[in-house]
Structure 1
Amino acid sequence: MNSQDALTVAQLITAVGSPDLGHSLCALLDDAVSFDMSGLYLFRFDQPAQLLYNGYKGQVAARTLDAYSRGGYLLDPFYVASMNRHPGGLWRMSELAPDSFFSSGFAICPDLHPCVSSTHGTQIDEIGYIVHLQKRTALVFSLMKAQEHGPFSSIEVAHLQLLTPLISAALELHGRQLPREADHSYAENQLESAFVGALSQLTEAQRYVAKLLLQGHSNASIARQLDISEGTVKVHKHNLYQRLEISSHSELFRLFISYIAQTPR
């Protein structure tokens, strides 16, 4: 470690617990990793996503970030992984995403998902650190690279992996200084209130299937998740479509997003 590296780490330590942490994390990575945007989010079960550091550099409209924080985050693989106690550490979006995620409504909606470029349906490569705090609460610091700049290289990923202990420790210490949430009973729920509200006509089983569909799971993936047959998934899917008076996944997505847009924050 040279003197500049030592200074950067010192600045990172100093920034823990302050709004400057995200900027210091980016400064730590700038020389070795190329990225176009970054963000630090606090995820808590059934609570609006909280953007603690906005490193989108004006490339994402405020309305998109607002829509994401209001409810779009519920379909984000990083949020889902955080709530399901997926192992912490460095993960690529593609490693966390369900099998049909990249063709889902969320993944191709530039007005809802910060990691979709202004070109409709064009994905941005995203990689991020997940750090679990208390139950169903996590910090996620992610880096994004636009499609025209290619994916993160193996050398860049190796460098990010090397820094995992340092960055995870900084995020964990930062999390300890954030206001603590009481261990509410909602933390035991399987469905966030937005899914319950938007899908109120459905049975509990149908709501859960609809949630997985919205998050980007195929019929086969849902069958594995719920330990039921694919045929049973298809029956649930047919019945929930009938109850909601819709006929396609895109209509289900629009119904859910419409509900989110009308729900007070």
Structure 2
Amino acid sequence: MQVDFKALFQTLADWTGAAETSDRKTGETLLAMMRALVRFDDMVIFAYRDKARPIDLFSTFDADDHHIFVTLYQAGPYLLDPFYHTARAARAGVFRMRELAPDRFFSSEYYRTYYSQTRLAEELGFFVPITDGVTVVVSLMRREKTGVFPSGEFGLLKDVEPFATAFVRRAWGDLAGRFAEVGQGRGRRSEPVSAADRVWRRLNLTDREASIIELVLQGHSSESIGLKLDISTGTVKVHRRNVYRKLGISSQIQLLSIYLKNLQS
């Protein structure tokens, strides 16, 4: 598509003179600017900090899609999301999902059980580390009917990155307090951390077994896990078999079911 310069500059002019700085208004401004540049179907903005439940700052979803992309995601699946792990690593830039996903992501049970519900052809994100370990991710999504982002539009978004980063840092430069408020007000700040870690203790897994199984659920092959943990592929397979034996299961879908059930209990 052609860049809509009139819409872009009008949005910038309105933003410059705006007095309101709410999440909704800021999100709508960023949405209008991005839509003047490239075609996409939906946008969602999350803030991540360590293993805490992500804060949803803005989204364009209807009620049904909001349940899948936000409510259900925040309940536990975010812990297996490549975007979440990239945000935790404080990487900055614009990345396509397929650049970040593990080697077996698109055949993983996480993908089949959760991510396939999104019906996305492609998702890309602006990753903006801010302060106190917080990273804001602006995700642009194209549905299957729309198709993937053309290389030209992706290249344009790469050029836009410095401005998008500055915009996000100006709008949401201090979110650490928001994470603390969520924890104090709803008892949620520490819950995702302890819930994720409690799963493995409840299932009587060792630290090594837990590390391997988390990577399995994220969509890493045994070879990829061995490289990440600096152990042999054979050792990975032995630990994986031991875990399956401990849990009395024989498939990754059973493993994911146990994991998600325990996260939400």
Aligned to 1:91: 95
Corresponding pairs, count: 246
How far has the Cα of 1:174 moved from its partner? 2.1
How far has the Cα of 1:100 moved from its partner? 0.7
Amino acid at match of 1:151: V
Aligned ranges 1:122-201 → 2 under 5 Å: 122-180=119-177, 192-200=193-201, 201=204
Aligned to 2:185: none
Matched, 1:108 2:112: yes
* Partner deviation per Cα, 1:138-197 (whole Å, 9 max, x = no partner): 100001101121100112112211211111111112222434367xxxxxxxx9433322
Structure 2 contact 130–136 (Cα < 8 Å) conserved: yes
* Mapped partners of 2:101, 2:252: distance in 1: 17
Aligned ranges 1:15-34 → 2 under 5 Å: 17-19=21-23, 20-34=25-39
Structure 2 contact 134–176 (Cα < 8 Å) conserved: no
Structure 2 contact 45–56 (Cα < 8 Å) conserved: yes
Aligned to 2:184: none
* Mapped partners of 1:104, 1:254: distance in 2: 13
Aligned to 2:216: 213
* Partner deviation per Cα, 1:111-149 (whole Å, 9 max, x = no partner): x44x733xxxx5431011001123432100001101121
Aligned to 2:49: 44
How far has the Cα of 1:228 moved from its partner? 0.7
Q: Identity of counterpart residues, as a percentage?
A: 32
Structure 1 contact 16–173 (Cα < 8 Å) conserved: no
How far has the Cα of 1:60 moved from its partner? 0.7
Query: Secondary structure of 1:56's partner?
Result: coil
Structure 2: give runs of 5+ residues left out of the alignment. Answer: 181-191
Structure 2 contact 78–84 (Cα < 8 Å) conserved: yes
Structure 1 contact 16–170 (Cα < 8 Å) conserved: no
Distance 1:222 1:135, change over 3 A: farther
The equivalent position to 1:224 in structure 2, one of 221, 224, 227, is 227
Structure 1: give runs of 5+ residues left out of the alignment. Answer: 183-190
How far has the Cα of 1:16 moved from its partner? 8.4
Query: Secondary structure of 2:172's partner?
Result: helix
Amino acid at match of 1:75: L
* Mapped partners of 2:108, 2:20: distance in 1: 36
Distance 1:216 1:61, change over 3 A: same
Amino acid at match of 1:148: K
* Mapped partners of 2:10, 2:86: distance in 1: 33
Distance 1:3 1:151, change over 3 A: closer
Give the alignment's TM-score, normalised by structure 1.
0.84
Amino acid at match of 1:195: A
The equivalent position to 2:257 in structure 1, one of 245, 254, 263, is 254
Amino acid at match of 1:248: S
Mean alpha-carbon deviation: is it higher for 169-178 or for 87-96? Answer: 169-178
Mean alpha-carbon deviation: is it higher for 202-211 or for 131-140? Answer: 131-140
Mean alpha-carbon deviation: is it higher for 63-72 or for 198-207? Answer: 63-72
How far has the Cα of 1:98 moved from its partner? 0.5
Give the alignment's TM-score, normalised by structure 2.
0.84
* Mapped partners of 2:231, 2:106: distance in 1: 24
Query: Secondary structure of 1:163's partner?
Result: helix
